[in-house]
Amino acid sequence: MVFETLEWVGGVGGYLEMIDQRLLPGEFLKIRCTDVESLYDAIKTLAVRGAPAIGVAAGYGVCIAVQGLRGGDLSAALLGIEKAVEYLGCSRPTAVNLFWALDRMKAAAGRFAAENPGADLPALKEALLAEAHSICRQDKEMCKAIGRHGERFIKEGAGVLTHCNAGALATAGQGTALSPMYEAHGMGRRFCVYVDETRPLLQGARLTAWELGQAGIDATLICDNMAGVLMKQGKVGAVITGADRIAANGDTANKIGTFSLSILAKEYNIPFCIAAPSSTFDLSTASGDEIPIEERGADEVTSFGMRPTAPDGMKVYNPAFDVTDAANITAIITEKGVIEKPNADKIALHLKDVNHGQDARATSD
């Protein structure tokens, strides 16, 4: 990729630098997060978004939180870390990678304190930064592996439909849903990507279209309500989207509008694939009925670019995500391989060896 969505700059006293995705495609600007409040705001207001990227950012957020701690009492430091974890965890409720990364950082701190009772605070800070770097590195590796496993769903000369943004802008690496496209493109395969605009915040139009253009991949932007006619016309050979949380049975939460695409794809017998790292599975959630769905402000629907698009006082329903039933999903593509026709047993078997430094709960826009 020609850009880094987020990166840590410096050592334990460093900061997190991220592309401000609220400004794309009109302006390319990076912001610095030097305290947990600015990171919370960046996550909440979608300056950084995408489940994997949020998780990586949260990992570094714990490192930022400990920078202000003083003294040599590790027990006091652990309390400070727990407070920061709780605070950052309130920023977005649906993307499970956020909680997975925060839990992992908290566990790393507790493990370090237990194994090194005589250690000082600077040593803990070094250990936490190493753990955050590990989360970031693993995300990059998982993205690449997802691409290798998923490129077979992109056929020569075919059209591929994607929704929202699950590319490099949503991860630390080359993305999840877009990763198979990058791999197929790198192999010289010719195909067209149809990019849903993704109302109401236009992540497809603003982010995915921009990102694919940077990579030189043939892309066509469509309004969300045009996907059905494209499928009817035979122009779509596969649908590939990302995920913000996958339940134990394979039900998947993703950007609002994904569920509708799954129904259309099923009607026209088009493969519908979810691409996500194993960190996006939440095995403590039995089905999609239990996934918390974030609802966002009415202004996202009633205005755009500071201009009203609806009458004053209009009632608004604005869920940020919906849940696609596992029965509508052809395959889930992870860094470990492909789960065909996913269900609880297949997912449990697929993930049985996964352990990214955390329990089986969730090896997690």
Catalytic, out of 103, 244, 282, 322: 244
Cα separation of 353 and 218, whole Å? 37
Is there a catalytic annotation at residue 244?
Answer: yes
Rounded to 5 degrees, φ, ψ at 305 are 60, 35
Active site residues: 244
